[in-house]
Amino acid sequence: MTTPQEELLPGTRRALLHRIAVAQTEGRAPSLVAAVVRGGETVWTGARTSVEGHAPDGNVQYRIGSITKTFTAVLVLRLRDEGVLDLGDPLEKHLPGTGVGEATIAELLAHGGGLAAETPGPWWERTPGTLRPDLADVLGERPLVHPVGRRFHYSNPGYALLGALVEKLRGAPWEEVLRREVLEPLGLRRTSVHPEAPHAGGWAVHPWADVMLPEPVEDLGRMAPAGQLWSTTGDLARFAAFLVEGDERVLSAESLREMRTPAVPVEAADVASGYAYCLGLEIRHQEGRTLVGHTGSLPGFLACLVISTADDVAAVVLANCTSGPAPFTVAADLVRIVAEAEPCIPAPWQPLREAEPAVLELVGPWYWGTQAFALRWSADGAVSLEPLSGTGRRSRFRANGDGTWTGLEGYYAGELLKPVRRPDGSVSHLDLGSFVFTRQPYDEGAPVPGGVDPEGWRGIG
C-alpha cells in the first residue's frame, strides 16, 4: 500500500529534519538535501543550506558520483536478460583487445576483476576526460593489481570497461543508451550526463577555516560510466523504488534481486565491517539492519542511496562539498528513524487458494539424522525448511511445477528438494542435495546413508 507523505507522524518528520540539520551543520556542507521513500513513494523531503532564505528542493541537481555505477550495471543486466551476453563470459568475447579480457563480466560488475582502483596519470575526477581518450589510457601499463576473480578490489576503470561494453553491443554512446533504456522509461527527467539548471555548485570546504573553494566540473570522458551523472533527490527516490520493485520495461524484480546479492569474495576487514559488493550495488550491515545501495563522491559532491528491503524504506542524501558529512551514515540514520518510529505494517495473512494434497502431505517435522526440521508451505506457493532449534541451515524453496523445489537462499540456494515415494505412493523421505530427511530420526524404513543399527535405540547400560 502506498503511504502518502502527510501520513508520516510529526515526530518522525522532526527527527528526520533534525538528523540532516546536524549533518549539514557538523559536516559544514554548503547544502544538504534528502528524501525518504516508503512503499515505493516519496514520503519525506528535507533540505538545509548556508544560503539564507533559499533551500534546494527535490528538483535541484547534484553530482552523484559512483551511484552512476548502479545505472551502468542495470544496462549490463539488460543485455544479459536479452541473451546478448552471459555474466560468465570473459570480457574478451565481446570487447576484445583490452588486455584484461580474462575477467568475466560478472567479476567486473562486482569489482572482482583484479583491476587497479584508479587510472594512471593525474587525478581523473579533477581533470578532463580528453586526457584519457582511449581505454588504453584508462587502464595504463599495469591494469591488473590482483589475480582475476580472487578478491574484491574496487575499480573505477572496471566500470569504464563496462560502459565501453555497452557501447560496443548497442552500437551507440553510453549516455544515449542510458537515456533511452533507463532514464526515459523510469521518468528520470532530471538525471543527466551534464548539469542542467537548477543545479548545485560543487565546493571544497577548508578543513581548518570556514571558507570555501569552488571545485572544477569536468566531463569524465571514458570514465563517465563510473561516475559522471547528475541527479536529484526526486529522481533518485524513484530509482530507489525501481531497485526494489523492478519495472518490466527496464529490468525485472528477479534480476534486481540478483543485483542485490553479494557476488565476489571479500577481505577479512570487509567481513568485519559488514560490507559486501553485489552486481553494481553495495551491501552494508549496520545495527542489525541490512542496507543495499551505493555511495558516490566527486570533488565538490557527496551522495548516497540506501534501501532496507525488510523495512520497505529507502533514503537519499546529497551534499555539495568534497568532504564533511558522511552520506551513508546520514542515509542509514534516516532509514532507521522511519523504520523504528513507524515500522512497516505487514500485509494481512492470507490462506492458500487451493490445498494440494501432495504438498500438504509433506509439511511438518523432518529429521536430518537427529536434527529436527519443519517444512512449511506458504500462500505464495513456496516451502521453507527450518531447523526447530532456531539455528542451522534454512532456506525457502521455489516450486518447479513437477513436484520438486529449488532452494532460494543460504546453504541450499540452487539445490533441488524432492520427495521420494515408495512403490505404494507413500513418502519415504525427502532428498535435498543428497541429504536424506526422514519422518523419524534415522528411520529404519528409509534409505539412510550408512544404514541404521538393527538393534535400534538404546540406553547407556
For CATH 2.40.128, list the domain ranges present in the chain.
357-437
Q: How far is CA 132 from the centre of its chain?
A: 30
Decide: 235 and 57 in contact? Cβ < 8 Å.
no
Nearest to 106 by CA among 145, 152, 141, 64: 152
More confident of the two residues 83 and 345: 83
pLDDT at 397: 96
Rounded Cα gap, residues 308 and 427, in angstroms? 40
What is the pLDDT averaged over residues 254-276? 85
Give residue-wise pLDDT tens across range 217-227. 999 999 999 99
More confident of the two residues 387 and 264: 387
pLDDT at 373: 97
| Cβ neighbours of 170 (radius 10 Å) | 18
Give residue-wise pLDDT tens across range 128-170. 999 999 999 999 999 999 999 999 999 999 999 999 999 999 9
pLDDT at 277: 94
C-alpha grid cell for residue 79? 543485455
Decide: 295 and 303 in contact? Cβ < 8 Å.
yes
Rounded Cα gap, residues 143 and 95, in angstroms? 16
Beta bridge partners of 399: 405
Range in 1-10, 224-233, 440-449 with the lowest mean pLDDT? 1-10
Give residue-wise pLDDT tens across range 53-85. 778 999 999 999 999 999 999 999 999 999 999
pLDDT at 166: 98
Give residue-wise pLDDT tens across range 355-411. 899 999 999 999 999 999 999 999 888 999 999 998 889 999 999 999 999 999 889
Nearest to 245 by CA among 312, 178, 306, 331: 312
Amino acid making up residue 299: P
What band does 344 get if pLDDT is binned at 50, 70 and 90?
confident
**Average pLDDT over the chain, rounded to an integer:** 94
Q: What SS3 string covers the chain?
A: CCCCHHHCCHHHHHHHHHHHHHHHHHCCCCEEEEEEEECCEEEEEEEEECCCCCCCCCCCEEECCCHHHHHHHHHHHHHHHCCCCCCCCEHHHHCCCCCCCCCEHHHHHCCCCCECCCCCCCCHHHCCHHHCCCHHHHHCCCCECCCCCCCCCCCHHHHHHHHHHHHHHHCCCHHHHHHHHHHHHHCCCCCECCCCCCECCCEEECCCCCCEEECCCCCCHHHHHHHCCEECHHHHHHHHHHHHHCECCCECHHHHHHHCCCCCCCCHHHHHHCEEECCCCEEEEECCEEEEEEEEEECCEEEEEEEECCCCEEEEEEECECCCCCHHHHHHHHHHHHHHHCCCCCCCCCCCCCCCHHHHCCCEEEEECCEEEEEEECCCCCEEEEECCCCCCCEEEEECCCCCEEECCHHHCCCEEEEEECCCCCEEEEEECCEEEECCCCCCCCCCCCCCCCCCCCCCC
pLDDT at 179: 98
For CATH 3.40.710.10, list the domain ranges present in the chain.
7-341
pLDDT at 128: 94
Decide: 34 and 317 in contact? Cβ < 8 Å.
yes
Query: How many CA atoms are closer than 13 Å to the CA of 145, on its beta-carbon side?
Result: 15
What is the pLDDT averaged over residues 96-101? 94
| Cβ neighbours of 317 (radius 10 Å) | 31
Share of the chain above pLDDT 90, in %: 87
Rounded Cα gap, residues 314 and 247, in angstroms? 17
Range in 269-278, 291-300, 337-346 with the lowest mean pLDDT? 269-278
Rounded Cα gap, residues 347 and 421, in angstroms? 36
Beta bridge partners of 312: none
C-alpha grid cell for residue 63? 553530482
What band does 273 get if pLDDT is binned at 50, 70 and 90?
confident
Distance from first CA to last CA of the chain, Å, rounded? Answer: 63
* Sign of the dihedral defined by the CA atoms of residues 206, 212, 218, 220, in that order: positive
Rounded Cα gap, residues 244 and 231, in angstroms? 19
More confident of the two residues 213 and 53: 213
Rounded Cα gap, residues 197 and 200, in angstroms? 8
Model pTM above 0.85: yes
| 7-341: CATH class | alpha beta
* Domain at 357-437: CATH architecture: Beta Barrel (2.40)
Phi and psi at residue 336, to the nearest 5°: -60, -45
Instruction: Return the axis-axis angle of helices 10-26 and 327-341, rounded to nearest 10°.
Output: 170
Give residue-wise pLDDT tens across range 105-124. 999 999 999 999 999 989 99
What is the pLDDT averaged over residues 343-358? 88
pLDDT at 3: 38
pLDDT at 2: 41
More confident of the two residues 2 and 417: 417
Judged against a pLDDT cut of 70, whether residue 235 lies above it is answered with yes
